[in-house]
Amino acid sequence: MDIHFLGTAAAEGFPAMFCRCGYCLTARRLGGPNIRTRSSVILDGVLKIDFPPDTLHHVLRDGIDLGLVKDLFVTHTHLDHLRAEDLEMRLSVFAHGLDYPLQVYGHDAVIRKCRDAVGRPDEQRLILNRIVPFETVDTGTAKVTALPANHDPDETCLLYCIEKDGKRVFYGHDTGLLPEETWEWLERTTVDLAILDCTNGNLPYTGGHLNIEAVIEIRDRLRTNGVLHDGSRVVATHFSHNIGLLHDDLTAIFDQEQIIVAYDGLILSI
C-alpha cells in the first residue's frame, strides 16, 4: 500500500496565508518541505481521506488523477478538512470521462455540509454515505473502520483504520488524546502505520490536538499494548506555524524517537 501525503499543515497552512512572523518568512525563503498545505492523504491513488481547500493544488502539484479516486472518507467539517463546495466539480457539467460515482463517507455533519453544498447530487457521479463510529465500510478494495476522535465537542469527529492488502493504517488526526473506546478497539488489532496529529509541537497540550509529548505517549501505549509490531512505523503530521518549528527542527526531535515527520508529497510504502 502506498500512502501519499498531499498536505501536512494545520488550518492556516505553513507558512500561514497572511502571516509575517519570523517562522513563516523563513519557511517561504527555504521552501521545500517547509511549505505545508492543508492535510490530506491518498492511498494507492483510489482512496482519499479529507477534501481540503488545497485539493486542486495537490492535484496539479503532484500529478494526481482525482478521477480515479473511488472513495473519500472525511474526518470532520472544519474548513481545512472539507471544502464541500468543490465536490460540485465532479458533477456532469464540470467533469467528463468518469466511469463510476465517488463514494463520500462521513458522519451527520459532514453529509449535511456536502448536501448543503451540492444539493442531492447525481448518483452516477457522487453518493453521500452517512457512517457512525465503529462502523466498518467494505469499499471492495479496502475495509475502513470509523473510530471516535477527541477534537470538537460539538461534532462527531472521526479517525480511520484502513485495512488493505493485508496491511493496516491508523489515521489519527485531528484529535487530542484518544478516547478510551478508541483505545479499546485499537488494542484488539495491529497496525503497520500510525499517523498522528502534532499540531501543537512543543507548545502545551490543549485538548483538541496533540503535541510532541502526546505523540510519543500515544506511540508508547500503542507499542506497549501490541498495536505496533516490530516493523510498524509512526508518522507525525498536521503542524501549525505557531509551533515555531521548521522541518529540520521537527526531524531533529523526532529522529531520536524513530518517528517520521511527514511533509507535502511524501510517499510511504508498507
For the chain, how long is the longest CA-to-CA vector? Answer: 52
Determine the structural domain holding residue 228 and report its residue range.
2-269
In angstroms, the CA 188 to CA 192 distance is 14
**Whole-number pLDDT of residue 207:** 83
In angstroms, the CA 8 to CA 77 distance is 17
Residue type, 232: S
Number of structural domains in the chain: 1
Q: Which three cell numbers stand for residue 177?
A: 488524546
**Whole-number pLDDT of residue 128:** 97
Q: Which three cell numbers stand for residue 7?
A: 498536505
In angstroms, the CA 178 to CA 24 distance is 30
**Whole-number pLDDT of residue 204:** 86
- Give the closest residue to 199 by CA, choosing from 5, 6, 12: 12
CATH number at 7 reads 3.60.15.10
Q: Which three cell numbers stand for residue 181?
A: 473506546
All residue ranges of the chain with pLDDT < 50 are none
Half-sphere exposure of 80 toward its Cβ, with a 13 Å CA cutoff?
22
Residue 148: cis peptide before it, omega within 30 degrees of 0: no
Helix %, strand %, coil % of the chain (to 5) = 30, 30, 45
- The residues, any chain, with a CB within 8 Å of residue 193's CB and separated by 6 or more, are 3, 167, 168, 169, 170, 232, 233, 234, 235, 268, 270
**Whole-number pLDDT of residue 121:** 77
210 contacts 224 by C-beta, under 8 angstroms = no
Residue type, 223: R
**Surface-to-core class of residue 73, CB atoms within 10 Å of its CB (0-12 exposed, 13-18 middle, 19+ buried):** buried
DSSP string, 21-32: SHHHHHHHHH-G
**Whole-number pLDDT of residue 205:** 79
**Whole-number pLDDT of residue 97:** 95
